[in-house]
Structure 1
Amino acid sequence: MISTASHGTAFLGHPRGLGYLAFTEAWERFSFYGMQSLLVLYMTQELFLPGHIDNVAGIGWYRSLLEGAYGPLSPLALAGQTFGLYAGLVYFTPLFGGWIADRWLGSKRTVIFGVLLMTAGHAAMVLEQSFLIALTLLILGSGALKGNIASQVGQLYPKDDDRPSRGFVMFSTAINIGAVGGPLACGLLAQLYGWHVGFGTAGVMMLVALGVYLKGLPHLPDEPHLTRSSEPHRKLSASDWRSVGILMIFLVFQVLLGPGYDQQFNMGMAWIDAAVDLQTPFGRVPVAWFVSINSLGTVLGAIAAIGFWRWQARRGDEQSDNTKMVVGGLMYGVGTMLMAVGSAFQTAGSVSIVFPALSYFITGVAFTWSWPTWLAVMARYAPRQIAARMMAAAYLVAFFGAIVAGYFSRFYETMDPALFWLLNAAACWMGAGLFYLFGPAMTRALVANLDQAQEPAILSKYASFVIEK
């Protein structure tokens, strides 16, 4: 059930609850990306070096477990594997968070629990000894938070509303405003005052996110299992299962779409630190700031995309969701390719700062076209009785992407950097090709699975999509 407050237009033409959800995630992302922008650098420059690594509680069995699977790991390779596992599990645990919300606590209480766990994780990051504990708390907290926040965005709108795609872009834009500020602030503070000041700042911002969410509770959607208690127990129909199957195939396409994006947060940070000339007339640019460049690209790209899509909508020919994801995949590839070009043509032993700056900016713009659109597709077509779990499943894209990036990060030291980044770019273009070739027919099948009462509105949304193919 959607609460009466959810039908309004008080927040830039959208329900008021969208504003509270967006700014909760803005501060949470400030914290998350502020910490994440430091993580690989912290591990490779200090934590995993002699004199420090032995201080980490549990590092012996953890390293033995990884090396049992992958063989001996250098400090850089161990950092890459650790980051990949962390970043992947952050997007895997929302499956459990969605299940807990659907069955037991509801989305609102689960989100509050997640924020508290993440706050504790950031606090634990301040000490070397509790590093693995900190990552565990952050993983569990993110699992409780992420899918449930996003599912509440989808539930703000009636099923036949044409605003969710733009609403998710606005949601993502607010998130990335926080993602711009987090690496700037935490990266600068870490460079000036030490790693733990940067990590501590990230923890304080999680408390701000909690305050915003609590203030917005009256404007958020009603809990579906509280107002329609029989719905979560209704079995999925054959049509529902067909929709789930198609969405899972789309998930595979989406994973292939963005490996270059995932690798930028992993070995991209190490590459910039080792190969790029970061000196400017104003001093050395913190490596963490490139994460902010990526997020700035998403913010500016979203502003341009919203205006462009609104203009198309007024003419009755807004791009289909499938086309938006194709464009996003092509841009991911172009952005990643710039890192290969910079590596191939580096001069005087270092790469111009222009190459990574443009690369991170372009992949940020690509994110605007790809990721919010994917969330909107999941919100529109997922069976309602498993809405939170399906939205959590949408984040498996990031799980598999991060795990794959972590696995391939161990080849970074043995491959030519230009070839390493070229292969990542090629995978992005492969994903875009799969969406272009197979996406239209699969979307028509999803439309056919909707209830007859909803079908006309959705079909009008996809009219240009059907004509294209």
Structure 2
Amino acid sequence: MEANRDGDDARVRAREENERIANEESERVLDDAAPLLGGPASASRANAMGKREFFGQPLALVPLGATEAWERFGYYAARALLATYAHARLRDPNFDVERVWGARTLAKACTGYDFGVHVDANDVGGLRVRDAAATSASARLYGTFAAASYLMPVFGGVISDAMLGAHRSAVIGATVMAVGYAGMATEWAFLLGMLAVCVGNGAFKPSMSTQLSALYDASDPRRDAGFSIFYFCINVGGFFSPLIAGTVRVYFGYEAAFASAAVGMCCALVIYASNRKLVKEATVIKDRERSVDRNNDDEEFGGATLDDDEASDEESPDGFGAKLREMSRVAQRNPSAMLAVGAVCAAGVGFSVVYEQQGSTMMLFSDEHVDLHGLPTEFVAALNPLFVLVFTPAVTRLWDWQARRDAEPHQMTKFAIGCALLAMSFVVLMFGALPIDSHASPMRVSVLWIVLTQMLLTLGELFSLPVALSYVSKIAPHGLLSALIGLWFGSSFFGNYFSGILGSTYPEFSTPSAFFAALAAIAGGVAVVLLIASARLRRTAPG
């Protein structure tokens, strides 16, 4: 019996040794083939890890989408609350504006009205003037917040490409944003918290998009669908956040509602940090594959520096300044790509001027003139992300169907269609608001007008924003990906800034309907210009 066991053990050891030798031989063959595939000796095994898929998309899209969903939960909660919070506080003659650091100075700079001056509760004329100033100030505050949130990624993208790398930028940005939302939950530090959120967003946004882009080759047909799915994830957070924040506000007040945004940001940070290895496996190998062609000149698109350690090791002796000079040379070698990115960003400004009214004047209009059947006004803000969730699968299937038949429109044509749909949405709201003959009218219209407006607005968004982001990431030259994605988000700075200025004129229009007609005209004009420009860009621009 003992001899039999010894013989069995010997056979087991021999079989294990043979399997080990076979595995080593397989790995050696893969390593020998790796340089032919554009990577180092370990690239083939890393590539096998990086190509894990989830319903036809890279598996790393799942944690990136979940991270962005929770980050947008915080942002959309703050956005849904901001305009109505500022309006409610500033219009109240008993509110002490000095309790909020910097609020009196900022509001006076925006409107010329001093909210520190007491108005008697029986002074009807004084209260009307204060209410109009509060409406204007809340629209400007919302526009400034949104604008700054999109300006900071311009600088954050450059710093990410030149110094920090995408991973460090994402972690730093998420942490600063969580602190900022906590500050907004305290009355005194409300404006300081807003500033921190904007700064953190500058580091976070381009870093996430950079890592998403690196999951796909420039010619990967899944790219547009992948970005749309990512956009879908964003709007999962965007849908639930106004519902939760609005409910919290009703029962516990505005401060607790803003605190819910901080909780969402902390969830985003935990999800991202715990899945860093999975994302790195899917992106680093693609970064190495692309590095083979980095010495090419024009028509060289879609690169990124994702591995923070590699980014630090490759820094030149001159450091940050040398990186900036190299980025400038890359831009000069790729004029067609830079022209196309500039055109997309210019169109994004015009789109955002109109689109962002949904968070300011549309919220104020809903609060004062729409029959919401007792629901919190913040629920209106949930309609847009809800329709994104509903319409995204249909839109992506449409583009997949067109792509299989080689009939998918160019990205700039899609953008033009999106602007036309945006114009149509405010034409609908213009007709819905016709019965209201003045801003002071107590009349309320059916909520169905807002629902239909948001449906068309959302379709316009799906044909514009994710498509533009995908296009910019596709044509961006190597070494400029984060910077140009930051520039795209930066174009929203101007759009949101001018949106705030335009929104502040809302009380000056004789009726809400006249204001919405002006919005429709602006969006329609951008659509026409885009259609004209897209023909030239299709001939000269990459992609």
TM-score (ref. length: structure 1): 0.89
Deviation for aligned residue 1:141: 0.9
Residues 67-94 of structure 1, C-alpha deviations (whole Å, 9 max, x = no match) = 5799x98122111111111110100000
1:47-446 alignment, distance < 5 Å: 49-50=92-93, 51-67=95-111, 74-220=133-279, 221-222=283-284, 223=306, 226-227=309-310, 229=314, 233=326, 235-236=329-330, 238-279=332-373, 284-346=374-436, 349-415=443-509, 416-446=511-541
Residue 81 of structure 2 corresponds to residue 22 of structure 1: no
d(CA) in 2 for partners of 1:15, 1:35? 31
Q: Contact 1:57–1:130 at 8 Å: present in 2 too?
A: yes
Deviation for aligned residue 1:12: 2.1
Secondary structure of 2:408's counterpart equals coil
Residues 9-59 of structure 1, C-alpha deviations (whole Å, 9 max, x = no match) = 512212122111111000111111012101111111125634242201122
Deviation for aligned residue 1:332: 0.7
d(CA) in 2 for partners of 1:361, 1:34? 20
Q: Give the letter for the 1:369 counterpart.
A: F
How many residue pairs are counted as aligned between the two chains? 444
Q: Name whichever of 55-64 and 148-157 sits farther off.
A: 55-64
Q: 1:200 to 1:154 in 2, by over 3 A?
A: same
d(CA) in 2 for partners of 1:237, 1:205? 37
Q: Where in structure 1 are there 5+ consecutive unaligned residues? A: 448-457, 459-469
Deviation for aligned residue 1:249: 2.1
- Greater Rg by CA: 2
Q: Contact 1:40–1:270 at 8 Å: present in 2 too?
A: yes
Deviation for aligned residue 1:227: 4.0
Q: Name whichever of 364-373 and 4-13 sits farther off.
A: 4-13
Residues 85-135 of structure 1, C-alpha deviations (whole Å, 9 max, x = no match) = 111010000011112211221111111111111111111112111111111
d(CA) in 2 for partners of 1:188, 1:430? 39
Q: Contact 2:187–2:255 at 8 Å: present in 1 too?
A: no
Q: 1:275 to 1:15 in 2, by over 3 A?
A: same
Q: Name whichever of 253-262 and 220-229 sits farther off.
A: 220-229
Q: 1:314 to 1:294 in 2, by over 3 A?
A: same
Deviation for aligned residue 1:239: 4.0
Deviation for aligned residue 1:182: 0.5
d(CA) in 1 for partners of 2:111, 2:376? 31
Q: Give the letter for the 2:474 counterpart.
A: R
Q: Contact 2:351–2:495 at 8 Å: present in 1 too?
A: no
d(CA) in 1 for partners of 2:48, 2:435? 56
Secondary structure of 2:196's counterpart equals helix
TM-score (ref. length: structure 2): 0.77
The residue aligned with 1:462 is none
Q: Contact 1:6–1:16 at 8 Å: present in 2 too?
A: no
The residue aligned with 1:450 is none
Q: Give the letter for the 2:87 counterpart.
A: T
The residue aligned with 1:466 is none
Q: Contact 2:168–2:308 at 8 Å: present in 1 too?
A: no
Residues 163-205 of structure 1, C-alpha deviations (whole Å, 9 max, x = no match) = 2111110100010011001111111111122112211111111
Q: Contact 1:258–1:332 at 8 Å: present in 2 too?
A: no
Q: 1:25 to 1:225 in 2, by over 3 A?
A: closer
Q: Contact 2:166–2:308 at 8 Å: present in 1 too?
A: no
Deviation for aligned residue 1:324: 1.4
Secondary structure of 2:275's counterpart equals helix
Q: Name whichever of 257-266 and 108-117 sits farther off.
A: 257-266
d(CA) in 1 for partners of 2:333, 2:461? 31
Deviation for aligned residue 1:385: 0.9
d(CA) in 2 for partners of 1:86, 1:364? 22
Aligned residues with identical type, % of pairs:
25
d(CA) in 1 for partners of 2:184, 2:332? 47
d(CA) in 1 for partners of 2:416, 2:106? 39
Q: Contact 1:6–1:17 at 8 Å: present in 2 too?
A: no
Q: Contact 2:111–2:133 at 8 Å: present in 1 too?
A: no
Q: Where in structure 2 are there 5+ consecutive unaligned residues? A: 1-38, 115-128, 285-305, 317-322
Deviation for aligned residue 1:6: 8.2
Residues 325-357 of structure 1, C-alpha deviations (whole Å, 9 max, x = no match) = 122111111112222111113598221111112
1:455-466 alignment, distance < 5 Å: none
RMSD: 2.4
Q: Give the letter for the 2:199 counterpart.
A: L
Deviation for aligned residue 1:4: 3.0
Deviation for aligned residue 1:243: 1.7
Q: 1:143 to 1:442 in 2, by over 3 A?
A: same
